[in-house]
Chain A
């Protein structure tokens, strides 16, 4: 009791002191993160340096703005004469996206199991796997596809292989995280039954992580499809190849139609997976 009274009086004197001096009451945290202003200043500095280094000719840029409208208008004049070519190349793109997704899914589950720290419990192996796939992920997909083009020759095979590298690396990381989010107690319970590690993984971890795996797969199909459209431009077949060739030869009508089709398919895939995710969550 006595202590609380002392505390109360102490508080009151504190309040009195504030009102006497009429100081503004601070509202922020006592410990301010000094890094944030430094970071902002650094960003501004880097922007200025980049602008100076690139020597962007703003006047020329402004004079070309109307051109954007012109090109878009020409793109909007669809040319349906090459419809069969656009369609077949679109099918090729979708096939590349789906195939690379499927192969990466299988590889991703296997490597994700190795990379997750709580499944096999071989620490050096998971660290090794994780760092290897971090490296693979750091190199952009088009670079992998170009490498595969050199190795496997022009065509969709290179597209599938190149996409697989990046997608597998992505799945390994995300799946490993999903597996690691399974509570340790659940694994302990199965360990106590004398079940082997692989068996625990297939019978308990995989079913528990299934909805997360499905969500990541859906997200990745979207990414793979749009990446795949870009990859065509470096020569891995598909609709991207059609777009880039037609743009280069000023056949805007065909290119415009193909671009709209890419948009439509990407939108459909997104809607489809939103619906599927809802069903899974039920």
Chain B
């Protein structure tokens, strides 16, 4: 399998003195579905954002598809970013625009000059966007305002926008943190199915341990900016969980503590 992403001794310290990442190294291959788990402030979001250089790293190197990310600027960086789709907790759509327009934003990175600036999408792109919406069960909402959708529907539009980019890698920053359990399941199922069908590698930041175990092919556990676990879900023992979260598994289950 082709290697897509390579983290080598990556470190990141913010101007306020916080060391978000310390010597983080890992590789991502085609078709992997990786969950990144860890308590708040352990550096999960920083890892995701350093991949497409939304956050510049302070040390080490990030290689995306064989190209070092930190050396890129301007047009070259934008071409690199096209290869990486991104999904957010708060969906981050443009709510005054239609669902279809939001999906089409995914191909703005491929449009140069005046066509890109004015948003003159080709008919092929429009067909592709509509097909994607149909695949996600959203075709009847294509011409609704994005603000009129429910949370789960907004996240599906977010997925469509990211897939529209034809990415090699999909980054999901807590995609289900703002959703109800049933929508969360739909979104996780869609993420898994759509990425495996297209052979897109997927990195998901998660707070839900059970979801991470159920869906991932591999789990990365972060604690205080360091990788303390990197392996398949079955290897994630209770001791390991304690090392990641600094507390026992029972304390992580809200339902369990209520039974006491």
| Tally of contact residues, B, Cβ under 8 A | 34
Assess whether A194 is in contact with B165, with CB atoms less than 8 Å apart.
yes
Closest A-B pairs by Cβ, 8 of them: A194-B109, A194-B82, A189-B92, A194-B81, A192-B86, A195-B108, A194-B78, A185-B92
Interface residues of B in 2-54 (CB under 8 A from A): 52, 54
Assess whether B116 is in contact with A193, with CB atoms less than 8 Å apart.
no
Q: How would you classify the secondary structure of chain A's contact residues: helix, strand, loop or mixed? A: helix
Assess whether B95 is in contact with A195, with CB atoms less than 8 Å apart.
no
Could you list 13 A-B pairs, sorted by A, with CB under 8 Å? A188-B92, A189-B86, A189-B88, A189-B92, A190-B108, A192-B54, A192-B81, A193-B105, A193-B108, A193-B109, A193-B161, A199-B117, A203-B119
Q: How far is the CA of A141 from the CA of B85 in the complex (A)?
A: 49
Partner of B106, one of A186, A193, A210: A193
Partner of A204, one of B105, B106, B109: B105
Question: Looking at A186, A190, A199, A210, which has the most chain B CB atoms within 10 Å of its CB?
Answer: A199
Assess whether B108 is in contact with A192, with CB atoms less than 8 Å apart.
no
Interface residues of B in 205-223 (CB under 8 A from A): none
The number of chain A residues touching the other chain, given as a range, is 20 to 34
Assess whether A211 is in contact with B78, with CB atoms less than 8 Å apart.
no
Q: How far is the CA of A189 from the CA of B85 in the complex (A)?
A: 9
A207 within 8 A of B: yes
Q: How far is the CA of A192 from the CA of B171 in the complex (A)?
A: 10
Listed in ascending order, the chain A residues whose CB lies under 8 Å from chain B are 183, 185-186, 188-196, 198-200, 202-204, 207-208, 210-211
Partner of B105, one of A183, A185, A195: A195
B94 within 8 A of A: yes
- A230: min CB distance to chain B, Å: 36
Q: How far is the CA of A25 from the CA of B87 in the complex (A)?
A: 55
Chain A residue numbers with a CB within 8 Å of B94 are 186, 203-204, 207-208
Chain B residue numbers with a CB within 8 Å of A210 are 96
B160 within 8 A of A: no
Partner of A202, one of B54, B88, B119: B119
Chain B residue numbers with a CB within 8 Å of A200 are 108
Question: Looking at B81, B95, B108, which has the most chain A CB atoms within 10 Å of its CB?
Answer: B108
Chain A residue numbers with a CB within 8 Å of B109 are 193-195
Partner of B117, one of A193, A194, A198, A207: A198
Assess whether B54 is in contact with A193, with CB atoms less than 8 Å apart.
no
Partner of B116, one of A186, A191, A192, A199: A199
Interface residues of B in 86-138 (CB under 8 A from A): 86, 88, 90, 92-97, 105-111, 116-119
Q: How far is the CA of A163 from the CA of B101 in the complex (A)?
A: 37
